[in-house]
Structures are given as C-alpha cells and as structure tokens.
Chains A and B, each alone.
Chain A
Amino acid sequence: MPDVCQLERIPSHRRAFRFGVSLLCSLGCLPACGRTGLDSDGFDDPVEHAGSIGADSDGQVGGRISTPTTDAACVPTTETCNGIDDDCNGTIDDGLAPIPCPGGGERYCVAGRWSACPDRCSVCIPGSEVVCFHSYCLYWGVMTCAADGNGFGPCREDHPPPECDRIARDQKDSPELERCCTEHGYCCTDSHDIDGDGNRSEVLGACSGVVCKP
C-alpha cells in the first residue's frame, strides 16, 4: 500500500497542477475526472491509464486470438478445441458441442480451451460466517461472506462461545484458541497454521457450508 507521504517527492509544479485539476474536478468543470488509476510515478498519466475501452494498458487492442486458416495448403482434419481452424472452413473451433457438467451447466470451447463448469460458489456462501481471531480484547471475531460470495468482510469482534471462553482469556490469540474453535464445530481461519502446512490464509474445521472448497 503506497504511503501517502510518498507524495512528498512530487515536484511542486506537478503538485500545483494536480491540485488545480482536483479543484476543477470537484466543481464539475472537467468531464473526464475520476476512474483513474494512480500509476507508478504517482500520477495518472494518460499513456499508462487503465480503463481504456477495447485496449489494454499498453495500447494493444485485445481481439481475436487467432485467425482462420486461409492457407491453400490447409489440410482438413477433425475440428478440436485448440484455437485453430482444423477443418479449414474459415471458422475457428466451430461445431463443437458443449460438454454437460455433472452438477448442471455445460463446458464450452472458449479461446481454444474448454471452459470450467459453472460453479454456484465463487469464494464462499453469501451470509455464511467464519471465525477469526483478534490479538486484543475478546480475541475472538467473525467474518461474514459478502452478498456476491466473492469474499469475506472484516473481522468483527464477538464473544467467544462458552467452551472457548476460558482459553480465550488465558491463552489469548493462540494456537490453543484456534484448536478450540476447530474442535467445537466452527469454521475457523488458520491464522496459527495449526495443521502445519504453511498456509495461514486457509480455513479449517466445519467449513462445508461456508467456503466453496473446504
């Protein structure tokens, strides 16, 4: 996260220009204000702008990843999902039937590869909760999955359940508290890596109704 104080290094004339632009933006004088990514030098230079339509930040227009075969020497073979016009009919990956998925939906040939099956769960089940741990006060908290299932919200402090209350007071934020959490039927963040796999961002315990891939 860039320190606000990094802006100290901005030359004074550019700082003045930027201040003026901000002021004009606030007054609605400039139509193209906002939606700007601060680039690596601390300014939203047009060349480095993100957000351009139809082109990436290098100015390269994204488009067809491969072109149909027009070579007279094209040897027709069976069309497969590979981004190539195998059957030499001028169309890439055409006529490929979608593949049904076990839980519903279908896989399609997309950009020369078969797509993944659709999944109702992106990261977590909306509204579900996972226990997190604080290093102060009650040492216990809860994170709730966002409405779009794309991630958890902040860790909000909460009272630990009776079975873990004493451990929370005695051991505070500790592997023992995390172990108590998992052993009593909660889905818990593995912030102390109690399973020893080196991953402290995973969840452990009863997480089948919380995260997509427990």
Chain B
Amino acid sequence: MQRCRVQTLRATGCAMIVLAWAATARAGPCGRPDLVETFPPSDATDVPVNARLTARYVSTAEYLGEPVSLEHVGVGPEDAPVTFDANEGLLTIAPVVPLTGGDKYKIGWPALRGLTTAALGRGADVTFIAGTGDDQSAPEFAGALGLAWDIERYDDDCTDSPEDRYRFDVSIGEATDDGPRDMLTLVVFQTSGPTQPGGSPEPVFVGHLPERGKVAEVRRPIDAAIGRICFAALVRDSVGRASNSADHEVCVTTVRPPFFYGCSLPPGRGRSWVPIFVVVALGAAWRSRRRPRGLLT
C-alpha cells in the first residue's frame, strides 16, 4: 500500500510536469473565423497565369458576400467572380482575364464572420507576381513515405481545459509540377482506423505542402485513431489537378492512452522543472528506503 503511494507520488509529479509544459503548447481564440493560408502566399513569384487564387479559412468561417478585391498593380482593379467552398473553407477567385506575365497583383482577402462568434476573423492583403506561362500538367508526387505518432496535450481555448489528440507526423515525398511549389496543396487521407472500417478514406489534412524535409502534422481525436491507422496523400496544383500518388499508404498501430510519458522535457524548454523532478524523485527514493523490507517483494 505504501509502495502504491510512492508510485502515485511519482506519477503525480510526472503528470504535473507534463501538464505544465503542455499548457504553453498551443492557444488560440475560440472559434474565431481567421484566414489560415493563401494560394499564392504573400510575395510569391512565378504564379501561373491561369491559376485559381484561393484563401483557406478555419472551419467556422461563413462567407456572406464580403467583397474580395483583385488589383492589377499600376493598372487597376480587375473583375473576378468569387466562390466559397464551405466544406474546405476555401474562398476562390478566378480572374476573368488571365494574369499578365511578370506583373504584380494584390488581393484583399476579407475578414469573415463565424458560426459561433460575433467577432470578425482575420483577413489579409496578399501581393504576388505572375509568371510567364500556364499550369498545364498534373503534379508528380511520391506520396506519403513515413509516419510517426504521439499524444499531444494542449490547452484548448474553447474548452478552457487540456485536450488530448493523437498527432501523426506524415513524412512527405518529393513533389514536382510545372507551376511553383508554393502553389501546391497537400491533402492527407486517413484510409484505415476505427471510423473507416471498410469505408471511404477521409480527408483529414488540407494545406500548403510542407517544406522539404518537414512533415505534415495531422491531429485526430482519440477515438478516431486507436489501433492500426493508415494515411495516404496527394497534391493538387494551382488549377486543381491532383497527383496520382494516393495508392501509397503508410501505417502505424497506436496504443490507447494514458501511458507513461517518461517525464522528459523538450530541449530548451522547461529546464527549470528539472530540479523539481529531481526533488520529487529523490523524495520517492527516500520513502522507498524507509519501507519495511517485507513489503518490497
């Protein structure tokens, strides 16, 4: 019984350290309908003259006809019909006249309203320079190549409490296209898991193709990612053509939490907690030595 208390003390110390670190991991305004990323990104160059110009907002954003401006810098505003894809949160403008190669453009992406908040989200002004040619062919992509997983605990701004998610780091292969790399969109699908028993692969990540050597971070609810989990990926180019890479799958088998975190702290962060852990550990060791011998085995 006494030994149980020591183990509990040790586990509590570990949990305190893990929670203290996780509390600073991530925070954001609850449900604010912010703009997440744009295609092309700001200051992009060599944008294909036939590219669709898109902005991705968070899932709570609602488009209610806010104006989107496209300015041909030094020439004037240009007409461009606007469409909103609520499923992916994508606001798209398609210029009536193709872009002029080598010229500079400026897009005013609006601040949108949200489903659960009265506050406006964040918009952005983006400038870019058009390239000289069309995006004509589909991208070539090696697909998902590797997979690592971990449990991530973060302090959620909506629930005001720590939340646990599985984080999958999907290693991505090389991608090439006749358009620039920063116009490629990565789409990751979960192809196997508790919520896909023989069902359709589910898109779980949409965003810019990570830089070379970086991974795509996919976060999944605990219930959706226990057991054998597989992912596949493709990329879309600036006009929406998809690569033929989604037959590659990478898989891992996850373990249901909670499990032992090991009490380690990330490099360069939380070093000041080390002495506290040492004190807790030494305290536990001291109490272990005080135990009657008979209880040890």
Contact = CB atoms under 8 A, between A and B. Distances in A.
Contacts of A121: 59
B23 to A, nearest CB: 15
A150 B167 CA distance: 13
Contact of A108 (B10, B220, B221, B234): B234
Contacts of A153: 156, 158-161, 163
Contact of A62 (B60, B206, B224, B249): B249
B255 interface: yes
A147 interface: yes
Contacts of A38: 255, 259-260
Nearest to B231: A62
A118 B206 contact: yes
Contacts of A110: 189, 191, 201, 232, 234, 246-247
B221 A123 contact: yes
B220 to A, nearest CB: 7
Residue from B4, B116, B297 whose CB has the most chain A CB atoms within 10 Å:
B116
Nearest to A11: B297
Contacts of B150: 35, 51
A127 to B, nearest CB: 3
B44 interface: no
A171 interface: no
Nearest to B8: A4
A74 interface: no
A66 B253 contact: no
B274 interface: yes
What secondary structure prevails in chain B residues at the interface with A?
A: mixed
Contacts of B258: 1-2
B186 interface: no
A115 B203 contact: yes
Interface of B: 3-4, 7-8, 10-11, 28, 30-31, 58-60, 84-90, 114-117, 145-150, 156-161, 163, 165, 169, 171, 187, 189, 191, 199-203, 206, 219-224, 228, 230, 232, 234, 240, 242, 244, 246-255, 258-267, 274, 277-278, 281, 284-285, 296-297
17 contacts: A22-B10, A25-B262, A27-B274, A35-B262, A38-B255, A38-B259, A44-B259, A51-B252, A54-B171, A105-B87, A107-B200, A116-B203, A118-B203, A144-B160, A147-B157, A148-B219, A149-B59
